[in-house]
Structure 1
Amino acid sequence: MNEAQSMLYAILCYDSEDVVGAWTKEEDEAAIKRLEVVEEKLARQGRLGPVARLLPTTAATTVRKGREAMVIDGPFAETKEQLLGFFIVDCASLEEAIETAKELGKASSSAGSFEVRPLAVFKPSDVKRTDEVRA
């Protein structure tokens, strides 16, 4: 990725966990295949960074900051949509990042939303990649 001419953006995927979790195996696989078409295009362009699909919020633990950290089960926010996953993409501009999010949105079969946010720091790790984990 050429940092002088571009910037990394996180495209955060929000949707109803109940709706996505109710998909049949076939519906889920079809949605993943549609997204993989966009991912493969971005990879060929050398613009795709890490992609992750998160396990359900029932598997989440939240650490709240304060004088003493408090650990609670579940996600931090009670919302209609949950963060289900993310893409890291290299884009020349915010406009290109928005177009990429729109393309991912067209490939997705649910309502939800994609939040586009520039990254200030990106530190790739040596953690071994795990293949897709399904809940």
Structure 2
Amino acid sequence: MPTLTKLYTMQEASRHSTKEDCWIVIDGKVYDVSSYLDDHPGGDDVVLATTGKDATEEFEDAGHSKSAKELMETMCIGELDTDTSFSAELENQPTGYPQKLMDLTKQYWAVPAAVVGISVVVGFLYLRKK
């Protein structure tokens, strides 16, 4: 009897984007990599950045070994439903600033604060010389 493959939409896969519950999509397959995040040689943030989209290009660009690809197959939970993946991706796009950019801004607040601080100092020095 053939094994039935579970189909997931990109929208379903994108709902699993936390360290405790992380799914990624590569080559049309959906993987639950939650248990592997702590062991990933590139760090969990690299994997978490690829949730909610097709991560095939990022995966291939990283040059994963044959053993990594074999390990990945043990985490496969289904396939991407290609009939609805494009429309689901469009529905999942946030309006305004991209959500991941907003998350980075919240996480790395010191960078924007430093830019503002430097701008104030430069402006003050410029006005002082006049």
TM-score after normalising by structure 2: 0.29
Give the number of the structure whose alpha-carbon radius of gyration is greater. 2
Name the structure with the higher strand share: 1
Name the structure with the higher helix share: 2
